[in-house]
Amino acid sequence: MDLDRDLNPQQREAVFHEGGPLLVLAGAGSGKTRVLTYRIARLVGRTGLAPYRILAITFTNKAADEMRGRIRQLVGEASREMWTGTFHSICARLLRQHGDLVGIERSFVIYDETDQLRLVKNCIRNLGLSDSQVRPAAVLALIDRAKNQGLEPPAGVLMPTGSRREEIEAVLRAYRDSLRQAGALDFGDLILFAHQLLREHPAVLARLRDRFRAILVDEYQDTNRAQHLFLKTLVPEGGDLCVVGDDDQSIYRWRGAEVENLLRFEKDFPGARILVLEQNYRSTANILRAAESVARGNPERHPKSLWTANDAGEKVTYLEAGTPDDEARAVAREIRSLVPARGFSFRDVAVLFRTNAQSRAFEESFLLFQIPYALVGTTRFYERTEIKDLTAYLRFLYNPKDSVSLQRILNRPARGIGKTTEEALVRLAAERGVSLWEGMEQAVTEPGLVSATAARRIREVVGTLVALRERAAAAPSLVKLLEDVLDRSGYSSFLESLPDKERRVENVEELLRTASAFEETQESTSLSETLGAFLEKVALVSEADQYSEKANVVTLMTLHCAKGLEFEIVFLVGMEDGLLPHQRSSLDAAGLAEERRLCYVGMTRARRKLYLTRARLRTRYGERQEAVPSPFLLDIPAELLETEQQRIETWPAAEPRRARRQPAATAAESGVHFDFSESQIDLPALPGVPAAGRRQTYRVGDRIEHEDLGRGIVRKVEGGGEKEKITVQFEHGGIRKLMARLSPIRKIER
């Protein structure tokens, strides 16, 4: 790291800026993250600030670790003193230390979305309502929205018009009370209570302000209002706050992020300096131009003039394949031709998609083509049933009031406690205002609360858990504790009895390894402390944390996960209308704009070569449909694209029906022996193919230009010959149905 040589003048200005808040607002690949890292290096190396006086907030834990790693090279072990992490992990840390001041016990647990939903459902039931009267997911959305804005339900909740106002409010109150009862915080609470702590306890605030002389935040465009307000309270007037972000890369609006935090930074932090970085160092000129032309499609954006000194590079390849399987194979074949023949390694390649469901086709084709890959994100490790079960045991042992965890393990393994008993217990606890655990204790001591059989079985569970708790108190280590849980709860034998036990046991072993590794890094004194820290880490892992550039494998991940990363070669797959932009987001202009930004983020991950691919046919809700190219493709100037069209190769009827649940570990194992000649099917069987004599001259996806209406893309082709009709979506927004032979249109060559 060379502070003088590795930076351009604007970057240097940002790195050396002193005297108050600083916003670096800049496009993709312009070195924002580099500025943050170098700024820390400057603070430590030149200004002489001790690392423990620095707070660096990143979007993922992995980004935090990386930043710390860089600083470590500079100052060695002192870098450990620096506080880094996500907003959530930093707030959790604050609350572990000072939570008691705002009524939060030291051993609080963190509820994820599943836990939240369970709790909301309980609340609804306990109020004598049904799921269909008050939809749990809708209530949860209200709760999250309010909390993301820094409000506390039911106070800040904007009720949906009319319906069931009172009931919903009651659920909100019950939810809040149950969380407290359980000694649990949801994600939103972490920020909210940490903020409350700062507001209500000047002494704490003063200590923190005194300690943190420099605060840095990455990816500021994706912070929510609660986080912004937290920061506003934490940073003293004129304090050394440096945030970096790019409004074109704001992709978490759906989760409460407000790009306004970035755009109005100056208002909230008076005297703030705003710096702009304009040189992109990451991508070839062609890639950058293509990406910028997509981004420009959004009317509301902070104007930027991003440029690059890099070569034009290759054109962006646009590849149209037949089916999603074809798409995946085409990508695999392409990767095979690049690695190693053209000097690339597998680790240089990423396949980015909008939805996790798209990954399966790629996994299968990579197995077939023997391409090593790592799937980041999908079916999150800690959300797997057996892992959630085990961590629920741990959480209960850590905090017996955690009723959601207890409820989960009540009948896991099966102990004859069915839904009836479970509901009775949950209700009993709610009525008496006690935790589920206390409710259970009362149910076995006070006769008549539950049936005799139920009481007997509850007694058994209570016995098992009490024994476990005693063992836990004496357990020498986290791993030992987990092993105790496995053996003594009967969970081990339960796993063995399952049909897919191998996979599950493997996962459990993975958990044991993780716990063991975690324990090594911990220097806490008591097991309870280690356990708490472990549970917190488990609750706050980011999807993107799994990504590693160390392994020489192709990375498969969602566009959201790819934020902030870069790869030599990027395949942005599924470039179809309905997928990118996703149908569910395309309902309003704001949603569509976010999809566009997502596309921009994906494209700008590429350094040297970008592929945009799509399938012509895709199955949606069980039906095979003709897919329409993503409208974003229309925004890319044709001269930047190189189009490749492929015939449909794989067609379900021609494929042997093979198990598709779980891709096998190796290609050989998967039993996929693909002979392409066998699976090639003649086109006439497909929909949308012209019948003889009534030729269609247009195809869905063709680009056309209309004399008056401008450029557009063909969405639908009907009839043929003289009567051929095409439906066209024009760039200027309109959709028109035209007679192909009569209208003044022509196809645009690409």
Ligand X SMILES: Nc1ncnc2c1ncn2[C@@H]1O[C@H](COP(=O)(O)OP(=O)(O)OP(=O)(O)O)[C@@H](O)[C@H]1O
Partner DNA sequence: TTATAATTGTTTTTT
Partner DNA sequence: ACAATTATAA
- Rounded to an integer, what distance in angstroms lies between the CA atom of residue 287 and that of residue 293? 10
Rounded to 10°, the helix 478-488/385-398 angle is: 110
Q: Tokens at residue 176, please?
A: 């809040």
Task: DSSP letter for 681, please.
Answer: -
Nearest to 546 by CA among 382, 377, 371, 387: 377
Decide if residue 584 touches DNA (CB under 7 A). Answer: yes
As a whole number of Å, the CA-based R_g of the chain is: 28
Active-site amino acid positions: 32-33, 218-219, 249, 605
Amino acid in the structure at residue 47: T
Interacting residue with DNA among 113, 311, 487, 722 (CB under 7 A) = 113
Q: What three-state secondary structure class fits 451? A: coil
Shortest spacing between CB 359 and ligand X, in angstroms: 22
Residue 604 interacting partner from ligand X, DNA, none (CB closer than 5 to 8 Å by kind): ligand X
Q: Looking at beta carbons only, is 479 or 593 nearer to DNA? A: 593
Least CB distance from residue 35 to ligand X, whole Å?
A: 7
Rounded alpha-carbon distances, angstroms, from residue 647 to 97, 334, 620, 677: 62, 16, 21, 12
Q: Which of residues 6-65 bind DNA (CB under 7 A)?
A: 60
Residue 243 pairs with which residues in a beta bridge? 23, 217
Closer to ligand X by CB, 52 or 281: give it: 281
For residue 43, the minimal CB distance to ligand X (Å) is 17
24 or 486, CB closer to ligand X? 24
Which of these, 604, 570, 8, 543, lies nearest to 248 by C-alpha position?
Answer: 604
Please choose which of DNA, ligand X, none residue 82 contacts, taking the beta carbon within 5 to 8 angstroms, the exact cut-off set by kind: none
Shortest Å, Cβ 33 to ligand X: 3
Q: How many residues bind DNA (CB under 7 A)?
A: 49
29 binds, among ligand X, DNA, none (CB under 5 to 8 A by kind): ligand X
355 makes contact, choosing from DNA, ligand X, none, with CB < 5 to 8 Å by partner type, with: DNA
Residue 356 binds DNA (CB under 7 A): yes
Give the one entry of DNA, ligand X, none that residue 443 binds, where binding means its C-beta sits below a cut-off of 5 to 8 angstroms depending on kind.
none
Counting contacts by CB under 7 A, is residue 497 touching DNA? no
Joined together, the tokens standing for residue 609 give 């070569």
* Residue 113 binds: one of DNA, ligand X, none (C-beta under 5 to 8 A by kind): DNA
Under rule CB under 7 A, residue 187 binds DNA: yes
Note whether 612 and 319 are within 8 A (CB).
yes
Contact yes or no for 297/635 (Cβ under 8 A): yes
Q: Which residue, 168 or 338, has its beta carbon nearer to DNA?
A: 168
Could you give the string, one character per residue 449-478, with x where binding to DNA holds by CB under 7 A and - elsewhere?
A: -----x------------------------
In the complex, least distance from residue 564 CB atom to DNA, rounded to whole angstroms: 12
d(CA 384, CA 618): 28
Choose between 89 and 630: whose C-beta lies nearer to DNA: 89
Closest-by-Cβ residue to ligand X is 31
Q: How far apart (Å, rounded) are the C-alpha atoms in residues 129 and 485? A: 36
8 A C-beta contact, residue 20 and residue 265: no
Give the binding range for DNA (CB under 7 A) out of 267-275, 579-587, 680-688, 703-711. 579-587
Residue 476 DSSP code: S
Bridge-based pairing of strands 606-615 and 316-321 is: parallel
Residue where the block lists tokens 């993503």: 630
Contacts to DNA by CB under 7 A: 60, 86-89, 112-113, 131, 144, 187, 251, 254-255, 354-357, 377, 380, 411, 414-421, 454, 540-545, 558, 560-561, 582-585, 591, 619-622, 660-661
